[in-house]
Amino acid sequence: MTALFISDLHLDADRPAGIRHFLRFARQETHDASCLYILGDLFEVWVGDDDTDPAHAPVIESLKDLKRRGIPCFFLHGNRDFLIGKRFAAATGCELLAEWTIVDMHGQRLLLTHGDLLCSDDEAYMALRAIVRDPEWQRDFLAKPIEERRRIAGELRARSRTETASKPAEIMDVNQGTVEARMRELGTRVLLHGHTHRPKVHEFSLDGEAATRIVLGAWHEGGSVVRWDRDGFRLEMLER
């Protein structure tokens, strides 16, 4: 059996082809899967579990179908859908994971995270992240009417696009020192994440031992998946 890992789908009503791509993946690529891990940014934006956007319905139903077929699904928050909560988990059957999660992959300690916390050189983003991840900010935000939340989310997305366009590319990538410090602290030599949209397998030395960082790609054009079985992992590109 094979564990599947995906990230950064950015599903959105304005891009219906992306939603169809995920629905097809969930239907066709999981028939021999032992489980599915979604490492954040399943949705382009999520303003609360009470959002009744009809574009979400087929995605939620697809995740429910995984549970009906006996395929556990695990979800780790991204920077776009960090407000996904217990109501979504109950509706889909997904188990919500901590932002740093260790799983055992056939005897290998594998560290999972979305990836944004590794981009420690992007000080402006890290400052914004600290604000929107604050429980008090989230309570205030979720108390607002749904239309106001959507407006605020749209403004934050526009701000993000403007700031991203002016940032050097290296600032928006991971900081290798942060990567190594976190792996050392959590006692693992293999890390899997998304967020940067730069799919690749990076091999390096950590305290004299071989270490690996696996990066998942975004699904804007096709996406990627990591398949992990008893023979190890494979990072594969997907086509629409």
Q: Which residues contact 70 (CB under 8 A, 6 or more apart)?
A: none
Furthest CA-CA distance within the chain: 54
Please tell me the predicted confidence (pLDDT) of residue 165: 79
Local structure of 19: helix, strand or coil: helix
- Residue 169 DSSP class: G
Please tell me the predicted confidence (pLDDT) of residue 156: 86
Please tell me the predicted confidence (pLDDT) of residue 79: 95
Instruction: Tell me which H or E stretch contains 178.
Output: helix 176-186
**237 beta partners:** 224
Where in the sequence is the domain holding 79, given as residue range(s)? 2-237
Residue 188, judged by CB atoms within 10 A of its CB (0-12, 13-18, 19+), counts as buried
Q: How many helices (H) and strands (E) does the chain have?
A: 7, 11
Q: In what side-by-side order are the strands of the sheet with 190-193?
A: 101-105, 108-112, 190-193, 209-215, 200-206
Give me the tens of pLDDT residue by residue for the chain, a chain 240 residues long. 899 999 999 999 999 999 999 999 999 999 999 999 999 999 999 999 999 899 999 999 999 999 999 999 999 999 999 999 999 999 999 999 999 999 999 999 999 999 999 999 999 899 999 999 999 999 999 999 999 999 999 998 888 888 877 788 778 899 999 999 999 999 999 999 999 999 999 999 999 999 999 999 999 888 999 999 999 999 999 987
Between the alpha carbon of residue 74 and those of residues 13, 35, 116, 199, the distances in Å are 23, 8, 18, 21
User: In CATH, what number is assigned to the domain containing residue 48?
Assistant: 3.60.21.10
How many folded domains does the chain comprise? 1
pTM for the complete prediction? 0.96
Residue among 90, 86, 102 nearest 37 (CA): 102
Please tell me the predicted confidence (pLDDT) of residue 210: 98
